[in-house]
Structure 1
Amino acid sequence: MKTILITGATSGIGKSTAELFAKQGNRVIICGRRSEVLESVKTELSAFTEVFSLQFDVSNLEQVENAINSLPAEWKNIDVLINNAGNAHGLDPLSAGKTDDWDSMIDGNVKGVLYVAKMIIPGMKERNSGHIVNLSSVAARQTYINGVVYCATKKAVDVISEGMRLELTEFGIRVTNIQPGAVETDFSLVRFKGDNERASTVYAGYEPLKAEDIADAIAYCVNAPKHVNVSDMTIYPSAQSEPRTIYRK
């Protein structure tokens, strides 16, 4: 049984990953910004395992520090960190981009990964054991038009994962970088600021990945034998050949 901390655990990939690990008998620490949703997920998962919830915004260092420092002693030894929280805002050319959207993506997708990892890594190093899984994107592999800042943040996650692996392998800590392709979650709804009609077109005419597909991949990496480290994994739906190309019926 592992103690697993998952950011962005109230929906999408994060929630599916928390559900899967809970059903496998692991203890899970679910993290998110919305207290009422956190409590709902906690109640749901408590049918399978021990669950602890932490409310904070990964982009706010003070909130990250206060939340993780508040963990009771019996929850502090975190075996696995899943850096899942992140966001996409807007799909505009740089000349028309909104700087608030840029800040939100950079703060959540890059700083958030760093802030949470900084709090967890020292304990893993002391125990000479641990596993960090960072959620990147196929957007890191190929920049696409009007998505420059989002793509840049996910490229940063790739670099952070590589840097973590260079620094932490000697301490027995595994690092995995996951690059999902098109996954049908609230991702596009957030990107298009609640425009359901526009968001729905992203997943029309083909079968996209589901959040559960990525959760399965994360679990495979975490549950691999200790001498095995899946360093990088790219996952596309069958209809997607590269980040910009999806074959629709």
Structure 2
Amino acid sequence: MSGPIKIDDLAMTYAPYPFGVIAPVFDEKLYDELLSTFPKMELFKFHSQHGAKYSLSERSNREQYEKFIASHAAWREVHAFIKSDDFIFTVLDALRDHDVDLGFKRSQQSRGKRIKKAARSLMRGRLPSVEAPLYSRFEFSALPAHGGVVTPHTDAPEKFVTIVFSMVRPGEWQDQWGGGTDILLPKDETKSFNYMNKQVPYDQTEMTASVPYKPNQAMIFVKTHNSLHGVRQMVGPEGAMRRTLTVVIERG
């Protein structure tokens, strides 16, 4: 992939649902610049929907988010790339190359292709289906290292792929604090089909794997009916934050 994000070193796991790890994901110099200019906490908005998370995004403090992106060249570059079709379909192509085919191809995204499909439906006497294009967005996120938690959930139905980039310097985070993204299964098998993103308390889940919070690493996973994941309550010091960049590919 040509651009600021590298996905060449993707290593996949397939059970209980497809997830993978990419490392390194940024050029070292760019990663240092992104860390140095990561947004200050006063720009973030607190959310309690899935635990205790601070967010800055298109949907959370949008005005501050747009001002921040516009004022930092490195983040403008990353933002523009993530918003591009090239990024979206390089990610989807990489997943397909690893036997995870979500059924989307680059040619399907073009406006002309969608118009032709609608025209064919009209010629056959059928109402055309309006298929929204794929798009991507990202969110600056932060969890307090002392007590921060993300309650297990499967993600909203409109999402297809989520990528979580760790934004931390070497030596800045201690493994014993926690902070890994846990891959989970519900203990009650009747809760196994959870496409609509119902939360499941941690004590009602079993962990099958955990992707640790490491520098210059991205964790990618596919939204499914059982893509249950979370961050167990952390035990780090007051004031420390688990900072991430979360990218979502979804239908508009």
Query: Fold conserved (TM > 0.5)?
Result: no
Larger helix share, 1 or 2: 1
TM-score scaled by length of structure 2: 0.26
RCO higher in structure (CA 8 A, sep ≥6) = 2
Q: Indicate the structure with greater strand content.
A: 2
